[in-house]
């Protein structure tokens, strides 16, 4: 999305408060705790990876709900569009080179016969209405540039992948898949997709590993060239040696430079994460700044800083010296807006704020100062419960 178009879209926006993405993610959903929005980042049970502490449910008053008239907005500067009174946001949230292109909300969980199934609704930014609109898709990802999205139909896993034109709202191409798909993610260059195949619905939890493997688990993935529709399938089971409790979504994802694929678990192995080249060969180590201790934002665009953390807590360090930037330790970093600004989750002034109960999207400098709220606060199990997808624009 070009700067002049963004300016038109956000001239009437309020001050900021943004939340890191999806997806993201995505150290990804593998780093998020169990039962926490599996849809935008790879979700793996906390019992399996023990990487995050759970939040404490504290009754709070929500800042805003979806219904009602939007608050008047304003631009903080010519590249920041913020809505600190909206959670989830109704109008575009963006800063620097990134934007919240979509988000998951309306999450619900049903437990039956030892299987816990989570469902949710995707809201996608519509440049025509200049608002996030409820969709009919079961899963989606927005391409860099925010001109098109890859979509899967509501009943997952799906038998085809759609390419959606965001300007017209029309699917311009359907790509059939013989192995049904539960997740799809764009490459950083916006030319390819990695499509993860599953036996059954991906967003479940169960302690019955045999049942999961036979009826729900990941079966493999496709690499798809979007222009030609040409695709290549590779089998890729879960292979966590029986250690995973809960399991859940285990999408294959791209490295930040698009040269490698990140796979949770591996057949016959005991690794939490295995990296593969695009020919399907396992790599001995993670790409630089993408190991398990690397927080989601990763390396800054100019290479001066990088982020480390356990999924929820994150710290900014200097690449040249390894020195921690004073004051930079805080909640999850989602994306670099540019070389000098980060989008991250931060607790609001609410004294009861913990993960999932009161944090909001903010824009900060690497030291955590100069915070600009991009959204209102989110709260689990309320209408303010949502998970952003952050995309390069």
Q: Residue 98 in contact with residue 392, Cβ under 8 Å?
A: yes
pLDDT in tens, the chain (393 residues): 433 333 333 333 322 233 333 333 333 333 333 334 333 333 333 333 322 222 222 222 233 333 333 333 444 567 999 999 999 999 999 999 999 999 999 999 998 878 889 999 999 999 999 999 999 999 999 999 999 999 999 999 999 999 999 999 999 999 999 999 999 999 999 999 999 999 999 998 887 777 777 778 899 999 999 999 999 999 987 765 444 445 678 999 999 999 999 998 765 555 678 899 999 999 988 898 887 777 788 999 999 999 998 767 889 999 999 999 998 888 888 999 999 999 999 887 666 666 667 899 999 999 988 899 999 999 988 999 999 999 999
Which residues, in sequence order, are bridge partners of residue 112? 115
Q: Would you list the domain boundaries of the chain?
A: 3-392
The pLDDT of residue 236 is: 87
Distance CA 268, CA 247 (A): 17
DSSP 303: S
Residue 207: per-residue pLDDT:
77
Exposure string for 303-338, b = 16+ CB within 10 A, e = fewer: eebbbbbbbbbbbbbeeeeeeebeebebbbbbbbbe
Cα 229 to Cα 128, 151, 222, 279, distances in angstroms: 28, 14, 11, 18
CATH topology of domain 3-392: Methylamine Dehydrogenase; Chain H (2.130.10)
3-class DSSP assignment, residue 313: strand
CA dihedral sign of residues 345, 349, 352, 358: negative
Residue pair 313/45 in contact by the 8 Å Cβ criterion: no
What pLDDT was estimated at residue 136?
Answer: 97
pLDDT at 347: 82
Identify the pLDDT of residue 101.
98
Give bridge partners of residue 299 from the DSSP assignment. 306
Who's near 31: CB < 8 A, 6+ residues apart? 41, 49, 51, 52, 292, 296, 310, 311, 312
Phi and psi at residue 30, in whole multiples of 5°?
-55, -25
pLDDT (0 to 100) of residue 240: 52
């Amino acid at each position: 999305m070009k700067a002049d178009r963004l300016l038109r879209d956000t001239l009437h926006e309020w001050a900021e408060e943004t939340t890191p993405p999806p997806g993201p993610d995505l150290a990804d959903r593998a780093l998020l705790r169990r039962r926490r929005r599996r849809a935008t980042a790879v979700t793996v049970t906390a019992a399996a990876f023990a990487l995050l502490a759970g939040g404490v449910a504290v009754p709070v008053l929500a800042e805003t709900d979806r219904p009602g008239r939007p608050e008047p907005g304003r631009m903080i500067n010519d590249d920041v569009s913020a809505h600190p009174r909206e959670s989830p946001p109704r109008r575009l949230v963006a800063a620097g080179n990134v934007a919240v292109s979509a988000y998951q909300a309306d999450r619900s969980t049903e437990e039956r016969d030892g299987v816990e199934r989570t469902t949710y609704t995707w809201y996608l930014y519509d440049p025509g209405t200049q608002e996030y609109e409820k969709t009919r898709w079961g899963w989606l990802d927005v391409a860099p540039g925010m001109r098109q999205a890859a979509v899967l139909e509501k009943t997952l896993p799906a038998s085809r992948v759609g390419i959606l034109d965001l300007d017209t709202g029309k699917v311009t191409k359907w790509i059939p898949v013989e192995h049904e798909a539960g997740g799809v993610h764009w490459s950083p260059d916006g030319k390819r997709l990695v499509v993860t195949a599953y036996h059954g619905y991906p967003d479940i939890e169960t302690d019955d590993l045999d049942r999961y493997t036979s009826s729900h688990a990941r079966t493999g993935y496709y690499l798809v060239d979007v222009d030609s529709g040409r695709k290549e399938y590779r089998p890729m089971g879960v292979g966590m040696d029986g250690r995973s409790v809960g399991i859940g979504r285990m999408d294959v994802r791209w490295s930040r430079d698009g040269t490698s694929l990140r796979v949770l678990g591996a057949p016959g192995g005991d690794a939490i994460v295995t990296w593969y080249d695009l020919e399907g060969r396992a790599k001995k180590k993670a790409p630089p700044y993408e190991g398990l201790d690397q927080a989601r934002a990763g390396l800054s665009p100019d290479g001066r800083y990088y982020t480390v953390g356990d999924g929820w807590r994150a710290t900014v360090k200097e690449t040249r010296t390894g020195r921690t930037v004073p004051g930079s330790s805080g909640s999850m970093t989602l994306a670099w807006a540019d070389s000098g600004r980060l989008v991250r989750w931060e607790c609001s002034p609410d004294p009861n704020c913990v993960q999932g109960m009161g944090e909001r999207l903010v824009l900060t400098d690497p030291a955590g100062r100069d915070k600009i709220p991009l959204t209102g606060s989110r709260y689990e199990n309320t209408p303010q419960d949502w998970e952003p997808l952050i995309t390069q624009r």
